[in-house]
Structure 1
Amino acid sequence: MTLVNEEALFIQQDLKDLNAILEMRFGEVPAEVLDIMTNIRDLNRLQRLILVACNTPDWKVFVEELQEGEGAYRLTGERFNPLGMTSNEG
């Protein structure tokens, strides 16, 4: 297996994992969010979004982080406290 094929498999698995986490935490993932996620080809970004999905108490915060692109790296503060205050916006 070549490095390119291996990376594509990791990306595919990370996308599945990210979707599964989001569905468990927030319910069905909207099509427009799925479209954005399936176009991500950077493993580091996907792994960061998995951490965000696990640690944010609020769907809105996840979407904001999804739109940040590759430039954001810090996951600190109440925005990333999974037991923090949640909103009813799903």
Structure 2
Amino acid sequence: MFQYEQEAALEQDREDLLGLLKLRFGDISPEVTQGIYEIDEFDTIERLILVAANAPDYKTFIQELKEGKGSFRIVGERFNPLEFIANNGDSNDK
């Protein structure tokens, strides 16, 4: 893959992540958007897409975003959105 193709794919992944966050949690702060645009590694963006899809609330996503590129696993009950909804009735905790 050429450099410009890689950059375009990374840009698309960033947009997908932001779209998913907006769909699940509503408005996203400019700081979070900027932080996502500063990520330049596919593995990190892909992990964050999985986190955004499975995190029960926005706060959990932000914690994972701050973990940086060294983190690679998403495990535990805090990533069970159904459990969170059953206990609290709301998945949009900001």
Counterpart of 1:64, as a letter, is Q
RMSD, aligned CA: 1.4
TM-score by length of 1: 0.90
- State the shift of 1:28 in Å: 0.8
| Length, aligned pairs only | 89
2:45 matched to which residue of 1?
Answer: 46
Determine helix, strand or coil for the equivalent of 2:72.
Answer: coil
Q: 5+ unaligned residues in a row in structure 2: which ranges?
A: 85-89
Name the CA distance, whole Å, in 2 between partners of 1:88 and 1:46: 21
1:83 matched to which residue of 2?
Answer: 82
Q: 5+ unaligned residues in a row in structure 1: which ranges?
A: none
Name the CA distance, whole Å, in 1 between partners of 2:7 and 2:91: 35
CA offsets 1:35-80 (integer angstroms, 9 cap, x no match): 1001111011000000000001111010000000011111111121
Map residues 1-90 of structure 1 onto 2, 5 A cutoff. Answer: 3-85=2-84, 89-90=93-94
Report % sequence identity.
43
Determine helix, strand or coil for the equivalent of 1:13.
Answer: helix
CA contact (8 A) 1:54 1:82 kept: no
Q: Which has the higher helix share?
A: 2
